[in-house]
Structure 1
């Protein structure tokens, strides 16, 4: 059976980090081998606080060595990394990736470069920020940033669709083959936009934005987990992109309907496998085939179409 090593944070209660990504990947039929970078009682957005600890970077190395000792790394089809709390953890992740690729040269490295967002800015230490850009990004096959993280990786500002595609291509020129922008917030406040970019093509998918009293945490972790699972199970990048977008939207609709702010991945588990929503990714024209203004206007047109989609 195909396996994924998932190196991320973990919460005991709720769904963020590995506790947002592992079950959905298992629901896709994969063996998931979680390695926790931190273990907290709950995610850090609770006003009451949290308890727990950050694990030493050596633990990542030792656990991967242990899996290798029993001859199972050859069954690992991908390494997914998420939140990393130190430069040493970044280095241990790269060591794990190299170890897995030695055992299985076809294995993917999927990097969710957790650094922050527009509201919080960069939430990781400067040395982690540096290691993400200089060490991990060039070795990744797939990278899954939000808009803020993409701007950090590409070292440019992003305020339009054309700039986002350009930034993704800059990242691709440094190593990764696929960039999935899990939230492109510059396009429209009332829409949730995601972008998929390869060296040759770019796809945009948009849906109505759901309103919550308190925004759910762990949505990005769910996106990276589902996209990874879809790729490992043999889906094309575009099919994996559409499935991920639609499944996450269904989870959020269930979360909203139950008046929760912890992601309801258990209640919506069937939608993880067979999403009810059917939004389609739209192939964008070549950036040099139209003016930047025409290119950016596409987001407005596609956004209006997204709003008109009938959702059961």
Structure 2
């Protein structure tokens, strides 16, 4: 069991941010310490929501309280998702710096949420430079989708070669491990989608059937499960296989139920016991 500090948003209704990440991590056997950056009624995809953004100073105060319990040496990984402002980015990087000073083996896994191929970039203009210049250089693991990888590295990402070149560029910024989600290539069948994982030991790709529906929070679950599995053995290939299996079954269960929100609880056995039904190929 590892201790994971997860600094993300929270919603009361539905599953995004920490409301998507915490339970799957607990279900695969990790202790999770959630720190919230917003406390909303629901995710913003509904077009209306209630609740506060947590000021960066208040997030910093919560982290300071955790530190003052002499808990930073116990943290095995920090996990972050959507960051709405440079101020919260500064708080996160400062905390990661302190955690790594207290435990040099601790990892920082960053999901650099900026947008998607269908929606484009939906974060404030100051956020992408913040990721490039400050947050990603501090990370050990990043989990962008293919669009975010291109946006982060300021490269056109359209096929396998350009995607791998962008991964190399991202790794030069700082993180040694990169998971690329929502990978589409010209040769990929329309009814399939892929993920790529790269670390110091190799490059791997996995293909799964494409579920014909998008559900908010699936990226948060993916980043969480990949981080949780990677913590055990530092094996990107194994983490990729388990994550692909679990997330596919989560989306399948959600789609078959015709649910608008992820069936996070109903799919829990697929986190604890991934079916490993998809082959991971070396690149």
TM-score (structure 2 length as normaliser): 0.96
In the TM superposition, 1:136-175 aligns within 5 A as: 136-175=135-174
Deviations, residues 5-24 of structure 1 (Å, cap 9, x unaligned): 11111111111111110000
> Which residue of 2 is the match for residue 204 of structure 1?
205
Gap regions ≥5 residues in structure 1 = 285-312
Displacement of 1:182: 1.5
Paired position in structure 1 for 2:262: 263
1:213-237 deviations in Å (ceiling 9; x for gaps): xx21111100000011112233511
* Number of equivalent positions: 281
Q: How does 1:1-312 map to 2 (within 5 A)?
A: 2-47=2-47, 49-187=48-186, 188=188, 189-199=190-200, 201-212=202-213, 215-234=214-233, 236-284=235-283
C-alpha separation between the residues in 2 aligned to 1:51 and 1:185? 35
- Residue 59 of structure 1: how far off its partner (Å): 2.1
CA offsets 1:14-72 (integer angstroms, 9 cap, x no match): 1111111000001111111111111211111225x211121111122211211111111
Asked if the contact 1:169/1:198 (under 8 Å) is kept, the reply is no
Give the Cα–Cα distance (whole angstroms) in 1 for the partners of residues 262 and 215 of structure 2: 6
User: Cα distance, 1:261 vs. partner?
Assistant: 2.5
Give the secondary-structure state (helix, strand or coil) at the position aligned to 2:33: strand
- Please say which structure displays the higher CA radius of gyration: 1
- Distance of 1:232 and 1:283 partners within structure 2: 21
CA contact (8 A) 1:6 1:18 kept: yes
Q: CA deviation at 1:90?
A: 0.4
In 2, Cα distance between the equivalents of 1:199 and 1:107? 17
RMSD: 1.3
Q: Secondary structure at the match of 1:223?
A: helix
Contact 2:199 2:236 in 1 (8 A): no
Displacement of 1:2 after TM fit?
2.1
For normalisation by structure 1, the TM-score amounts to: 0.87
CA distance in structure 2 between the partners assigned to 1:167 and 1:140 by the alignment: 16
Deviations 1:101-159 (A, max 9, x none): 11111000001000011122111111111111100111110110001110012110011
C-alpha contact 1:169 1:199 (8 A) present in aligned 2: no
Q: Secondary structure at the match of 1:193?
A: strand
Whether the 8 Å contact between 2:191 and 2:210 is mirrored in structure 1 is yes
Q: Distance in 1 between matches of 2:135 and 2:19?
A: 23
